């Protein structure tokens, strides 16, 4: 569309193209496209005070942010509409809010003297004066609801660390928030940091639990305003929960956990919204010439930030390519690592089934725990997520191709559901999976029993049957594998739907292939009834492990080099992620048995993640200086090397690790490799049981004994000693920890 404006100055003359008024008009003419029109727009025509387009849009963003958190106090009291009307009712206080925001972030305020370079106190003084005036005005507000809203807005501004608001060409708003803005009683633990995004047709958050973190960017589309309003009030909580689950899941890799969600208005355009969010985020990350950020960004954070994204729901291949290309255009330092799974050059999770490979390790180990040999005996499965899905589609293929006697009783996905008590036709499921088609396309002629059905979710009745199938207590199965669907589908209010009339579970085990499909309360209630529950942070970690290894390849190899070895590299990565799933699965069931099943697997899974993450953090803090100075080089290089796929250990690639992988990344690899190795091998609580104050000393002694024991085992197995396998097994199980304990006791 073309926008034509006819305008004159206050005296009716043609506007001078060099005048501030002309500049103001041209900037705002471009901004019109990126803002919505609502009741707050009335502020722009109030006679007593002038609110510009961008100032009103800031109030709009503030209202969206406040609605997320004030609605938790009382949903009906602090609606989005009430917050906006409060800003309208008190335009003078709304203006003071904006003045305070400007005092903190306006690039027009000099922080450093342009002549002598001395730091100035001007910004700090203006900020303090404005805050005093604003607080006094808020105190005079009569109604508590309105007062809460203005204090909430003040709290929001106080905790913004940087924003792209003052960039003339920004197409959406982005705010890097101090996590201390969050209520620590509600959000435990506090994240490392988060971004808030707002623009025409979307809102969103990105939360991370460590400086260097990895996780998916999810696009949530909404059907209508009712659906949009429902998702709006919970979007931050969902991002927070998903990023924390991701952090628990990321225990095997150097990156912490993160997650981003872009929530779209029913009429929003996906491509445009994603572009706005990504460009807004890059505004706060990329350098500008010799400056760490654009000069118009006042940075109260003061450190460079690197974000690693991955694909998630509704993230198309063309969007992934655009994100990476845009990062290159904007001179982001590691553009190929900014978003993983680039078509062709990246490792496509769906094509290679990387998440499902890890899920299936738990499927097999859980069946063996239930005394079922999946290769010889029949077992039954019900699944959420269809043949066209990433995790579900690949898991269906693995089940059918690997276990000849598996019976898949029920499948549901976004488009429909199918059920057959005699088992859905395997050939038909494979046909749908290979063609990437929903279960709604299942050929009804392939159904075997009178009670079988196929329904589509394009009618109210079909949706009802689909939703009821996910919670049905009439479908008895050994395994329930949610590998799709929305978070919190099974929760404290409906978990009993999986019990029969006598209160017995209708499934033996749940393998949570989808993130947060069950709430924690639901997991624990089902476990108390005897269900084996493998939570998401254990079951589906294969995808993020793969993404982390993709980043390693991006950092060390050119695109051409990677493509030349891609098949071999992907094979090695899949073997690594299966091994990591196996190690955790073995530890999980070992600890469960040691406690006679009295500690829920849900708690044990979380404890494994916590111990590995805590030990990783301690190791990073303790050996960082040693690592930086190159001390204990041989020991640390051996451990570092063990993390890499074999092909990258080859001399022609390995020498690049020290120069092309950032030092902080290498230190994180070293720390997480040591931590996960010790805890998977020796179990929960072993380090604490030593009651030894020096963690560095424990690690050093253990690693030395590990090398010694490994050499002994190799020598024994190469000998002619009778019973050598048994001797080697005994050494492998106990020698490292006992030798370590003995040496430490002698200190």
Instruction: Locate 548 and state its tokens.
Output: 């982390």
Strand 453-456 versus strand 532-534 pairing type: unpaired
Cβ–Cβ < 8 Å for 216, 315: yes
Widest distance between CA atoms in the chain: 106
Asked whether 270 and 217 are in contact (CB, 8 A), the reply is: no
Q: Which residues make Cβ contacts (< 8 Å) with residue 21, sequence separation at least 6?
A: 9, 15
**Residue 273 in tokens:** 């919204």
Residue 616: partners with Cβ closer than 8 Å, 6 or more residues away: 251, 668, 671, 672, 674, 675, 676
Active-site choice (104, 203, 259, 350): 259
Dig out the tokens for 33 from the structure: 């496209």
| Burial classification of residue 723, based on how many CB atoms lie within 10 Å of its CB (0-12 exposed, 13-18 middle, 19 or more buried) | exposed
**Contact (CB, 8 A) for 515 and 242:** yes
Residue 107 · residue 122 · CB < 8 Å: no
Long-range contacts of 735-739 (CB under 8 A, 24+ apart): 735/705, 735/709, 736/681, 736/682, 736/702, 736/705, 736/706, 736/709, 737/682, 737/686, 737/702, 739/705, 739/708, 739/709
Helix (H, G, I), strand (E, B) or coil at 292: coil
Contacts of 596 (CB under 8 A, 6+ apart): none
In whole angstroms, give the CA distance from residue 59 to residue 89: 13
Phi-psi region of 437 (alpha: psi -120 to 50; beta: other; left: phi over 0): beta
Assess whether 351 carries a catalytic annotation: no
The structure tokens listed for 422 are 């005699």
Place of tokens 């299966």: 578
Is the separation of the CB atoms in 291 and 167 below 8 Å? no
Contacts of 723 (CB under 8 A, 6+ apart): none
Tokens of 157: 């501004």
Write out the catalytic residue numbers.
Answer: 259
């Amino acid at each position: 569309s073309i926008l034509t404006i006819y305008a004159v100055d206050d005296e009716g003359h043609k506007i001078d193209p060099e005048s501030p008024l002309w500049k103001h008009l041209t900037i705002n003419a471009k901004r019109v496209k990126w803002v919505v029109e609502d009741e707050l727009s009335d502020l722009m025509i109030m006679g007593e005070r002038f609110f510009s387009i961008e100032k009103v849009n800031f109030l709009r963003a503030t209202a969206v942010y406040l609605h997320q958190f004030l609605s938790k106090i009382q949903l009906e009291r602090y609606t989005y509409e009430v917050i906006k009307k409060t800003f309208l009712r008190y335009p003078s206080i709304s203006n003071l809010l904006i003045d305070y925001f400007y005092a903190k972030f306006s690039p027009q305020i000099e922080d450093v003297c342009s002549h002598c370079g001395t730091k100035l106190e001007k910004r700090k003084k203006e900020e303090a004066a404005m805050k005093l005036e604003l607080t006094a005005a808020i105190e005079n507000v009569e109604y508590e609801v309105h007062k809460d809203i203005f204090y909430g807005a003040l709290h929001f501004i106080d905790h913004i660390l940087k924003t792209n608001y003052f960039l003339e060409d920004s197409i959406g708003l982005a705010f890097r928030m101090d996590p201390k803005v969050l209520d620590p009683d509600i959000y435990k633990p506090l994240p490392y940091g988060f971004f808030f995004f707002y623009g025409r047709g979307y809102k969103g958050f990105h939360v991370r639990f460590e400086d260097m973190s990895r996780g998916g960017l999810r696009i949530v589309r909404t059907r209508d305003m009712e659906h949009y309003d429902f998702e709006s009030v919970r979007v931050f909580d969902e991002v927070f929960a998903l990023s924390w689950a991701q952090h628990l899941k990321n225990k095997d890799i150097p990156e912490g956990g993160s997650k981003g969600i872009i929530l779209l208005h029913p009429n929003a355009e996906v491509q445009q919204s994603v572009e706005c969010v990504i460009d807004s985020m890059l505004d706060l990350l990329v350098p500008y010439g010799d400056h760490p950020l654009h000069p118009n960004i006042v940075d109260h954070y003061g450190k460079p930030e690197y974000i690693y994204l991955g694909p998630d729901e509704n993230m198309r291949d063309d969007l992934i390519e655009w994100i990476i290309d845009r990062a290159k255009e904007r001179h982001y330092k590691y553009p190929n690592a900014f978003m993983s799974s680039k078509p062709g050059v990246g490792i496509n999770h769906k094509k290679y089934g990387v998440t499902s490979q890890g899920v299936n390790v738990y499927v097999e180990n859980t069946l063996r725990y239930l005394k079922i040999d999946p290769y010889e005996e029949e077992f039954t499965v019900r699944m959420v997520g269809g043949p066209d899905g990433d995790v579900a589609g690949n898991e269906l293929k693995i089940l059918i191709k690997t276990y000849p006697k598996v019976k898949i009783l029920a499948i549901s996905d976004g488009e429909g559901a199918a059920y057959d008590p005699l088992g859905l036709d395997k050939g038909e499921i494979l046909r749908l999976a290979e063609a990437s088609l929903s279960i709604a396309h299942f050929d009804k002629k392939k159904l075997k029993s009178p009670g079988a059905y196929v329904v589509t979710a394009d009618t109210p009745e079909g949706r009802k049957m689909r939703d009821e199938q996910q919670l049905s207590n009439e479908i008895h199965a050994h395994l329930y594998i949610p590998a799709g669907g929305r978070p919190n589908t099974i929760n404290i209010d409906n978990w009993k739907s999986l019990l029969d009339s006598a209160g017995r579970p209708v499934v033996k085990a749940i393998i949570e292939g989808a993130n947060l499909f069950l709430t924690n309360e639901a997991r624990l209630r089902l476990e108390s009834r005897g269900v084996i529950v493998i939570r998401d942070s254990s079951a589906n970690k294969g995808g993020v492990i793969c993404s982390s290894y993709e980043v390693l390849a991006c950092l060390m190899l050119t695109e051409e080099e990677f493509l030349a070895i891609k098949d071999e590299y992907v094979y090695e990565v899949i073997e690594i992620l299966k091994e990591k799933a196996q190690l955790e699965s073995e530890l999980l069931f070992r600890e469960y048995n040691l406690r006679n099943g009295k500690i829920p697997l849900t708690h044990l899974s979380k404890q494994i993640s916590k111990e590995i993450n805590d030990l990783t953090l301690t190791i990073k803090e303790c050996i960082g200086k040693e690592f930086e100075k190159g001390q204990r080089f041989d020991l640390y290089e051996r451990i570092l090397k063990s993390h890499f796929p074999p092909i990258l250990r080859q001399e022609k690639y390995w020498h690049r690790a020290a120069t092309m992988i950032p030092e902080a990344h290498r230190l994180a690899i070293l720390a997480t490799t040591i931590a996960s190795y010790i805890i998977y091998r020796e179990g929960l609580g072993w380090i604490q049981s030593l009651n030894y104050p020096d963690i560095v000393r424990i690690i050093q002694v253990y690693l030395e004994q590990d090398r010694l024991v490994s050499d002994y085992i190799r020598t024994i197995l190469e000998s002619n000693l009778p019973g050598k396998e048994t001797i080697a097994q005994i050494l492998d199980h106990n020698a490292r920890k006992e030798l370590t304990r003995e040496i430490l006791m002698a200190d």
